[in-house]
Structure 1
């Protein structure tokens, strides 16, 4: 038998900076920003 109390799980609130530190989210946001930038340049300068 294990007489030790269960480990406490700390549910600390994680804010926006934690979310932005995740690489998959940053790759997705960079991809979307690139698409927006390309469409803006295409609309401004029609070659």
Structure 2
């Protein structure tokens, strides 16, 4: 006879972390903030023309 019991499921894959997880890390955010402020400061300095 046919056995109608469900087949066992394979284990769920491990959760993968994308780039949004990497961007949410505090050291990276501090680094990007410093680089952004340096770029902003140099652009303002260039516009004012001191």
TM-score by structure 2 length? 0.65
Q: Tell me the matched-pair count.
A: 38
SS of match in other structure, 1:12: coil
Q: Which aligned pairs between 1:1-47 and structure 2 lie closer than 5 A? A: 11-47=14-50
Whichever of the two has the greater Rg, that structure is: 2
Segments of 5+ residues of structure 1 without an aligned counterpart are 1-9
CA RMSD of superposed structures (Å) = 1.3
Superposition TM-score, scaled by structure 1 size: 0.69
